[in-house]
Structure 1
Amino acid sequence: MTHLRHISVFVDEPDPGHYHWVLHESTEDASVWIDIAESEQSFTSWTEAFEAGTVALYRLVPDEVLGPRAAGEDEGADPVG
């Protein structure tokens, strides 16, 4: 099975009172994170933005039991050959 992706949700406030959720993912270098998605609309509270970001994260997950998995070779598969 492929490994879990390290994705976080955080809220940014680019202008006072305008909150946006951002999905952030860790790279192979654990000190480097990249933005993978962000809200187009702003929210009037941190809570609303965070909840909407959590919903966006759930949408990335095809199987809620397994969580967000990295694309690529299935590490648990039998060897070929």
Structure 2
Amino acid sequence: MAHIRRISVHVDEPEPGHFYWVLMEEVDDASQWNELESADEAYDLWLDALQGGMKRLIGYALDERVGPREDGDDEEGAPVGIPIK
């Protein structure tokens, strides 16, 4: 099974009181991250923006047991360390 994707969520505030979630993914070089996507509209509260970003991040996981995986993963295979039932 391929490795889990390293995706982070953070909140940006380009203008006071306007919060946007941003999803970033680590590239081959661990010191570099690429933006995957961000909120189209601002949130009034930081916490609402964070929760919106987390909801979107969860959407990247096709299977909640193993999280988001790199392309070409065998979704039918057993995750590492988790026995097949």
TM, length-normalised to structure 2: 0.83
In structure 2, distance between residues paired with 1:56 and 1:73:
20
In structure 2, distance between residues paired with 1:66 and 1:28:
21
Count of aligned pairs between the two proteins = 75
Structure 1 residues 64 and 44: alpha-carbon distance in aligned structure 2, compared to 1, 3 A threshold: same
Amino acid corresponding to residue 42 of structure 1 in structure 2:
A
The CA RMSD measured in Å over matched residues stands at: 1.4
Amino acid corresponding to residue 43 of structure 1 in structure 2:
Y
Partner of residue 5, structure 1: 5
Equivalent pairs: percent with the same residue?
44
Q: 1:1-81, aligned counterparts within 5 Å? A: 1-72=1-72
Deviation string for 1:6-59 (max 9, x for gaps)?
A: 000000001110000000000010000010010001001110000000000011
Amino acid corresponding to residue 43 of structure 2 in structure 1:
F
Deviation string for 1:51-79 (max 9, x for gaps)?
A: 000000011111000100001365x8xxx
TM, length-normalised to structure 1: 0.87
Q: Which ranges of structure 2 fall in alignment gaps of 5 or more residues?
A: 78-85
